[in-house]
Structure 1
Amino acid sequence: MTVNSNAAHGEHSGFRGRSDVEWGDPDFTVRVAGVDDLLRIQRENAAHDRSRRWSSEDALLRQVSAVAGVFLCPMLRNDGPSTEPESYRCWAWFVLGTEEGTQGVTLLDVGKDIFETLPELHSPTELRRVIKVTMARVMLGSRFENMW
């Protein structure tokens, strides 16, 4: 696990450093979120002024298909004041609501408390399916989406 030095930020200053989520870390998991979960994440991100979120709930509902799950995989543990809830910066793979069958990928901040409540994919069969779908999306030209 790679962690920014707390000494650089001052552990006693009440600031949590950013750190990478590595393959072997216990919090490296793949979770699945539905639209209701994304709305809850959006509201929490707006309340805590997290930068990786949709511009509005309407934009989220226009961009993300309501019938497909969104795969979330943490990339970073976000920094910030230790008084704020912990959060992850996650890769979010999803089906675009505006173009049938087109997939998108973006970065989304997700509160740790919400992330941990989402269903985890942990069986080898489920994880192989996610890898297969993700790789197929890459091969078919997934678009990196701005959250408009």
Structure 2
Amino acid sequence: MTLNSNAAHGEHSGFRGRSDVEWADPDFTVRVAGVDDLLRIQRENVEHERTRRWSSENALLRQVSSVAGVFLCPMLRNEAVGPEPESYRCWAWFVLGTDEGTQGVTLLDVGKDIFDALPELYSPTELRRVIKVTMARVMLGSRFENMW
């Protein structure tokens, strides 16, 4: 686990400590979110002024296909600061709602409580499917999406 300088020194001068989520960490999991989950994440992100979120609920609904699940994989842990709870900065892989079959990837902040409540992919079959879909998206040129 890697800590930024603020977290490593125990300083909390308004800056959030961050640590990498490594492959061997127990919280390195793949979760699946539906549109209702994303709306809940969006509302919490707006409430806590997290930076990696959609610009609006309408933008989210316009950009993300309502029929496909979004795969979330944590990249960083964000420490709690003041009233803002702990969260993860996740890779979010999804099917774009605007272009049939086009995939997108972006970074999304997800509160730890919400992340932990989302369904986790456990079985080797499910995880192979995610790896296959992710690799296919990379090979086909997934677009890194701004959250407009």
Task: Return the TM-score normalized by structure 2.
Answer: 0.93
Letter of the structure 2 residue corresponding to residue 28 of structure 1: F
SS in structure 1 opposite 2:101?
coil
Task: Tell me the percent identity.
Answer: 85
Q: Distance in 2 between matches of 1:82 and 1:124?
A: 39
Instruction: Indicate the residue corresponding to 1:101 in structure 2.
Output: 101
> How many residues of Structure 1 are paired with residues of Structure 2 in the alignment?
147
CA RMSD in angstroms, aligned pairs only: 1.7
Q: Which structure 2 residue ranges, 5 or more long, are not aligned?
A: none
1:81-111 per-position Cα deviation (integer Å, ceiling 9, x unaligned):
1542100000000000000000000000000
For residue 78 of structure 1, report the CA deviation from its aligned partner. Answer: 1.6
Letter of the structure 2 residue corresponding to residue 81 of structure 1: V
Tell me if 1:118 matches 2:113.
no
1:35-89 per-position Cα deviation (integer Å, ceiling 9, x unaligned):
0000000000000000000000000000000000000000001245154210000
Does the Cα contact within 8 Å between 1:15 and 1:79 map onto a contact in 2?
no
1:10-37 per-position Cα deviation (integer Å, ceiling 9, x unaligned):
26x6865110000011100000000000
Instruction: Indicate the residue corresponding to 1:67 in structure 2.
Output: 67
Task: Return the TM-score normalized by structure 1.
Answer: 0.93
For residue 122 of structure 1, report the CA deviation from its aligned partner. Answer: 1.2
Q: Distance in 2 between matches of 1:113 and 1:121?
A: 17
Q: Distance in 2 between matches of 1:62 and 1:7?
A: 40
Q: Distance in 2 between matches of 1:138 and 1:109?
A: 22
Tell me if 1:131 matches 2:128.
no
Does the Cα contact within 8 Å between 2:80 and 2:87 map onto a contact in 1?
no
Structure 1 runs of 4+ aligned residues shifted over 6 Å read none
Instruction: Indicate the residue corresponding to 2:2 in structure 1.
Output: 2
Q: Which structure 1 residue ranges, 5 or more long, are not aligned?
A: none
Q: Distance in 2 between matches of 1:48 and 1:14?
A: 14
Letter of the structure 2 residue corresponding to residue 104 of structure 1: G
Instruction: Indicate the residue corresponding to 1:49 in structure 2.
Output: 49
Letter of the structure 1 residue corresponding to residue 107 of structure 2: L
